[in-house]
Chain A
Amino acid sequence: EAEVAQSPRYKITEKSQAVAFWCDPISGHATLYWYRQILGQGPELLVQFQDESVVDDSQLPKDRFSAERLKGVDSTLKIQPAELGDSAMYLCASSSRRGMNTEAFFGQGTRLTVV
């Protein structure tokens, strides 16, 4: 069964260090999302891509976060420098059609702990 792949599953980093997460969406899915989920809360959108273009990054803290999807397939989310408050689950999701009522499929997430 096709699934969204994310790596690493777990990451521990010291504050002020750089950290990166990788996502490979379901093959053929043009829309890719990065969400952040703090323990006990629902996922919150950070950035949405349509193919290689950013559709919405209004909630992305651009002073330290960056995201790219250069070839419109896999994507990388980077944090530099990491802060203690960045500790969370980072989820990637993809969906097949933009603007249609279709669900997003989520990966297993990367659990980030900043110490």
Chain B
Amino acid sequence: GESVGLHLPTLSVQEGDNSIINCAYSNSASDYFIWYKQESGKGPQFIIDIRSNMDKRQGQRVTVLLNKTVKHLSLQIAATQPGDSAVYFCAERVGGSYIPTFGRGTSLIVHP
């Protein structure tokens, strides 16, 4: 079964590498997706969003890819920096609902 509590999936990368964080969602009715970054002891911080009528959106050093066929979302961070170390959450909204539902987070560790 799925582990819970402190056993977050972890991605370790070297500074300067590109990072890819993945998220699977289960509700095919979800039509809006958001990636949040959460540093230790702080609230989640918005990174980038994407609507379901898109399959790719780019921001500054970040790209979100959406594959609705397999209900998969990814966040790509280019030239990862130590300041990118945090837990990353994807959140989804189902059409007709106004409430973002958070997925399981991924801990990103960037080594200098």
Task: Please give, as numbers and ranges, the residues of chain A lying within 8 Å of B34 by CB-CB distance.
Answer: 103
Within residues 57 to 93 of chain A, which ones have a CB less than 8 A from any CB in chain B? 91, 93
Classify chain B: how many residues form its interface, as a range: 20 to 34
- Tell me the complex Cα distance, A91–B38, Å: 12
* B12 contacts chain A at the CB level, 8 A cutoff: no
**Measured between C-beta atoms, what is the minimum distance from A56 to chain B in Å?**
6
Within residues 1 to 53 of chain B, which ones have a CB less than 8 A from any CB in chain A? 4-8, 31-32, 34, 36, 41-46, 49, 51
**Measured between C-beta atoms, what is the minimum distance from A3 to chain B in Å?**
9
Chain B window 49-74, contacts with chain A (Cβ cutoff 8 Å), 1 for yes, 0 for no: 10100000000000000000000000
- Tell me the complex Cα distance, A31–B99, Å: 10
- Tell me the complex Cα distance, A103–B34, Å: 7
Question: Are B7 and A91 interface neighbours, CB within 8 A?
Answer: no
Q: A40-B7, A42-B105 are in contact. Are A106 and B43 (CB under 8 A)?
A: yes
Among B8, B36, B91, B93, the residue within 8 A (CB) of A40 is B8
Question: Are B98 and A44 interface neighbours, CB within 8 A?
Answer: no
